[in-house]
């Protein structure tokens, strides 16, 4: 990633003239608000409207990403990596999104969150095998990650009225998404490590535009 004086934009509006703490609060609030709205919409679409086409959902979502990136002002002239850098990354990104969205047709939202909460463990394990990283974590960090996962699962199970419902098909789909997430996080980190000039906008734009054709096969 670029240096600390990198210009930051949110929906085309520059945040660089604001103090760092304001930038942090705005971006943090935007992240949590967006994640909350996304979760509510997914739960409504899959459980109330009985929509079950996860791959198509991901396909449309990809074009929404591209529109938002366009509002951010990103252009292909700002790319610093070749297109082939994003082929493997795009495949696992779209596979992860498609399986995650599709699993909601078989799992309720608390069950999906339970499984997705374990993402940190496969990401850490897979980091030891991804070229460009070969990360090794001390034993205490694995224990910390495990405790974090257990805490998130217990928090998800706290409300008995929204207890998770499981289906073997949904479990298989969300497990596949977790495996792809393990590759995804490490592929992204490897790209940032090998080329520090890579921006988040380039990463999202290129992985989305390269990944959309991958969705045509399962659709």
Q: State CA 182 to chain mean position distance.
A: 11
Sign of the Cα torsion 64, 167, 126, 139 reads positive
Residue 203, CA atoms < 13 Å, CB-side half-sphere = 18
What is the residue whose two structure tokens read 């078989």?
106
Across 6-35, average pLDDT: 78
Question: Which pLDDT value is given to residue 131?
Answer: 60
Q: Does the global pTM surpass 0.85?
A: no
Lowest mean pLDDT among 85-89, 126-130, 138-142: 126-130
CA distance 40 to 50: 14
CB-CB neighbours of 147 under 10 Å = 10
Question: Which pLDDT value is given to residue 103?
Answer: 83
Rounded to 5 degrees, what are φ and ψ at 186? -75, -35
pLDDT (tens digit per residue) in 55-78: 888 888 889 889 888 887 788 888
What is the residue whose two structure tokens read 């942090």?
24
Q: Which residue has the higher pLDDT, 113 or 87?
A: 87
CA distance 17 to 99: 40
DSSP class of residue 49 equals S
């Amino acid at each position: 990633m670029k240096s600390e004086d990198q210009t930051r934009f949110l929906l085309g509006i520059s945040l660089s003239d604001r103090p760092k703490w304001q930038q942090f609060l705005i971006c943090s609030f935007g992240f949590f608000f967006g994640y909350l709205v996304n979760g509510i919409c997914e739960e409504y679409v899959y459980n109330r409207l009985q929509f079950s086409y996860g791959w198509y959902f991901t396909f449309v979502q990809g074009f929404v990403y591209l529109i938002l990136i366009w509002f951010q002002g990103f252009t292909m002239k700002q790319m610093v990596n070749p297109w082939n850098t994003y082929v493997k990354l795009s495949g696992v990104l779209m596979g992860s999104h498609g399986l995650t969205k599709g699993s909601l047709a078989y799992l309720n939202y608390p069950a999906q969150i339970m499984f997705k909460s374990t993402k940190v463990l496969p990401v850490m394990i897979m980091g030891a095998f991804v070229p460009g990283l070969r990360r090794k974590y001390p034993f205490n960090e694995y224990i910390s990650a495990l405790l974090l996962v257990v805490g998130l699962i217990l928090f998800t199970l706290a409300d008995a009225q929204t207890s998770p419902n499981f289906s073997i098909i949904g479990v298989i789909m969300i497990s596949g998404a977790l495996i792809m997430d393990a590759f995804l996080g490490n592929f992204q980190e490897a790209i940032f490590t090998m080329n520090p000039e890579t921006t988040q906008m380039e990463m999202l734009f290129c992985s989305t535009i390269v990944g959309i054709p991958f969705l045509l096969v399962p659709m």
